[in-house]
Amino acid sequence: METNVESEKHAILKDYRQLLRVARPYMEKGDDKRIRHAFELALDAHKHMRRKSGEPYIHHPLEVAKIVAGDMGLGTTSVICALLHDTVEDTELTLEDIKKEFGATTAKIIDGLTKISKISHQTESIQAENYRKILLTLSDDIRVILIKIADRLHNMRTLDGMSRKNQLKIASETIYLYAPLSHRLGLYSIKGELEDLAMKYTDSDKYKEIAKALESTKKDRAKYINDFVKPLQEEMDKSGLKAKVFGRPKSISSIWNKMRKKEVDFEDVYDKFAIRVILESPLEKEKEDCWRAYSIVTDKYSPQPNRMRDWISHPKGNGYESLHTTVMGPGGKWVEVQIRSQRMDEVAEKGLAAHYKYKENKFKSTNTAEEAIESWLMQVREFLKNPDVNPIDFINDFKLQLYQKEIYIFTPKGDLKILPAGATALDFAYSIHTNVGDTCIGAKVNNKLVPISHVLVNGDQAEIITSRKQRPSEDWLNIVTTSRAKSKIKNSLREEKRKIAEEGKEILERKLNQFKANFTNDNINVLTNFYKAPSSMDLFYGIAKGTINLNDLKQLKNVGGGLEVPRVEKVAKSYEEFVPAPEENGDIPKNAELIIFDESSKFPYEFAKCCGAIPGDDVVGFISINGVIKIHRTGCPNVINLMSKYGYRIIKTRWTANTTPAFLTTIKLNGLDGIGLINKMTSVISSDMKINMQSLSVETKDGIFEGLIKVFVKDNSQVTKLINKLKSLDGVTSVIREEI
């Protein structure tokens, strides 16, 4: 036992020394003592705690601190906050203790990192409310988000020790918010790892399949990269450019996304890796050297004209700068090449954190992409100022701006605005100023008059036309795409609604006087529930607009001026309306397991139509609003969305050893049209595989066919066998099980 204690102490000390090594480049005089003090405080606070894996808990904050310093390049304050990030929530240490030892800034960051334990409204998602608190700290200190992402990354790396239910819940949250947030903050390396780790748990079969395929083709890929890189490196050296040319593999999740998007097999994904050219250039020569390197690359290999991306002249909204081109490499293969300076590469690897150096309790930007970053942060802060909104709506709206591609739009004076692809003239109006958006009646785009719904394209020059008589309306929410515009429109509509609600309030007061009932908060709450209004303001608004009939008051009892409503059972219309606390799911025990097709199962279940699970698929049960358990494939986007918000409603699910029913699934295939091809396909399905077919539809255009076959199968291994047989037919180029 003594040896075990000693070995644990040695492992903790080793972790701590590694942290000091990665943090040293960002440390100033005296910082080592501050970090040591934080480490000792965390070590003592967590001394009796262990992780699910059995190791001492202190390893977790140490690993988070290493990510914060090493992968993000943040300074001493961030390292201290990472070491102490769980102390206030999980130990006896208080925010006051933190403030006393390390100052107000550290205490404020840790407060932002502390999860919510209680919420006031049952109809709000606990997880969404927690997301909101985290995001609100953007208004004060971006480091809260960065440390939270580091915390999530280490949790994902150590997810094996968790229960299956928690694995799915945490992985779903990661896909839903943390990976898109990392993307938007420019943490591309971390974003890729988060997506890969999430896929490992939500779609483990496909993850293993692609990982195995990557491993089996590793040698061939390495040889190809070497053949591609060698002549480029020689030309760079001859030109006098200090350049390093190398290949980097793409993430498993990005390869899978390409396979789904383009409906191709692994072998047909051409960009499984990217070539990087990293230049050692002084700041004033960065652009010039990048374009010189681009010229060398395109002289050596022919570029694809429509695949050139210049993010050096116009950096992305998160500060990303790089030149991208796709060229024809040896053997007729397209290869993506990324060209950037060492500084630009640090930004690409470490994201937003690389833009800032912490000094005197303030972040100071140190590079040319400052305006793009500050512009985005300013929009986010504005959006986050509005707390008077349902947390689910809040997160959904915020998420809108995380993954979208960007376009560049010019004002009449030539100023540049960055908007998401798909943005409209009305979005552009709101990006200028709220008043411009609220009064927008149209726009001139490239000197041509267009409506407010006109979708802008990259490079447009737009001028907004306004009228003082114009007011936002509900249908504007369907026109705009940016979260800023949606938030501003909702604010205006809410203000207008409040004014109308005041009229309804007066009408209700008069009606209650006639009914000899009191106008009190208790009676208003009774009426709000009786009319199924989301809030008292909605009640007053409905009365003013005439959608709530006050003649129904006769159904209520008047007991001494107080109203009593007959007991009415509420029927939920959506998941957002029905979010019971975990203990309210009384019919289903906490650690219950649903076994599909087990006759002894006590739980009602049905298969979700969105993803068509079949035996052998990795599946999960989700308790629906009517108490029926819906069976989804774990990679289904719908269930990932639901699990990210209502993780406690997941129920562990597995198939029985033997299942007899046949399941309908769809096979999609395409290739070159030929005589007798349909006959060959039906022969494989019916004669060779003895599979029943529900339908077959084939469309042919210019000698190319695309077919959809619906078949009844026993399990996914039978589907795999069928796909392989169909692939072997002459003329068939691609066969896939239709994805969600």
Q: Is residue 575 part of a domain?
A: no
Residue 33's nearest CA partner among 13, 97, 41 is 41
What are the residue numbers of the active site? 89-90
Domain boundary among 655, 681, 712: 655
Same domain? For 259 and 281 the reply is: yes
Which ranges in 114-217 belong to alpha helices (H)?
126-136, 143-157, 164-173, 179-184, 188-202, 204-216
Q: Can you tell me the distance from the alpha carbon of 570 to that of 626, in angstroms, rounded to the nearest whole number? A: 11
**pLDDT < 50: residue spans in the chain:** 1-3, 116-124, 357-369, 568-586
Q: Is residue 363 part of a domain?
A: no
Same domain? For 151 and 19 the reply is: yes
Residue 136's nearest CA partner among 388, 369, 427 is 388
- State the first-to-last Cα distance of the chain, in angstroms, to the nearest integer: 52
Same domain? For 253 and 183 the reply is: no
Domain span holding position 316: 211-354
Same domain? For 139 and 248 the reply is: no
Q: Is residue 55 part of a domain?
A: yes
Q: Which amino acid is at 208?
A: K
Q: Which amino acid is at 689?
A: M
Q: Can you tell me the distance from the alpha carbon of 545 to that of 270, in angstroms, rounded to the nearest whole number? A: 59
Torsion of CA 533, 536, 538, 543, to 10 degrees: 90
Q: What is the pLDDT of residues 178-191, one digit of tens each?
A: 888 888 777 888 99
pLDDT of 614 reads 86
Q: What is the pLDDT of residues 688-716, one digit of tens each?
A: 888 888 888 888 888 888 889 999 888 88
| DSSP per-residue letters across 571-582 | ---STTT----G
Q: Using alpha carbons, list the distances in angstroms from residue 452 to 460, 480, 630, 695.
A: 15, 9, 41, 45
Identify the three-state secondary structure at position 362. strand
Q: Is residue 424 part of a domain?
A: no
Cβ atoms within 10 Å, residue 70? 18
Rg of the chain (C-alpha set)? 30
Q: Is residue 267 part of a domain?
A: yes
Q: What is the DSSP letter of 734?
A: E
Q: Which amino acid is at 491?
A: N
pLDDT of 677 reads 83
Same domain? For 148 and 231 the reply is: no
In the β-sheet with 323-329, what is the strand arrangement from edge to edge? 243-249, 273-279, 333-341, 323-329, 309-310
Q: Can you tell me the distance from the alpha carbon of 186 to that of 346, in angstroms, rounded to the nearest whole number? A: 10
For position 255, which CATH number holds?
3.30.460.10
Same domain? For 723 and 617 the reply is: no
Q: What is the DSSP letter of 618?
A: -
Q: Using alpha carbons, list the distances in angstroms from residue 305 to 298, 308, 309, 325.
A: 11, 6, 10, 9
Show Cβ contacts of residue 37 under 8 Å, excluding neighbours closer than 6 positions: 101
Domain boundary among 184, 202, 220: 202
C-alpha 679: how far from chain center: 45
Q: Can you tell me the distance from the alpha carbon of 316 to that of 369, in angstroms, rounded to the nearest whole number? A: 8
For position 676, which CATH number holds?
3.30.70.260
Same domain? For 217 and 345 the reply is: yes
Same domain? For 74 and 12 the reply is: yes
Same domain? For 196 and 229 the reply is: no
The answer to whether residues 445 and 425 touch, using CB atoms and an 8 Å cutoff, is yes
The answer to whether residues 168 and 632 touch, using CB atoms and an 8 Å cutoff, is no
Q: Is residue 438 part of a domain?
A: no
CA angle 714, 718, 722 (to 5 degrees): 130
HSE of 558 in the Cβ direction (CA atoms, 13 Å)? 11
Same domain? For 307 and 188 the reply is: no
pLDDT of 374 reads 59
Q: What is the pLDDT of residues 570-594, one digit of tens each?
A: 444 443 444 444 444 445 566 667 7
Same domain? For 337 and 220 the reply is: yes
Domain boundary among 305, 329, 354: 354
Same domain? For 622 and 647 the reply is: yes
Q: Is residue 127 part of a domain?
A: yes
Q: Can you tell me the distance from the alpha carbon of 404 to that of 483, in angstroms, rounded to the nearest whole number? A: 11
Burial of 92 per CB tally in 10 Å (0-12, 13-18, 19+): exposed
Q: Is residue 719 part of a domain?
A: yes
Identify the three-state secondary structure at position 667. strand
Sign of CA dihedral 245, 246, 251, 257: positive
For position 133, which CATH number holds?
1.10.3210.10
Total domains in the chain come to 4
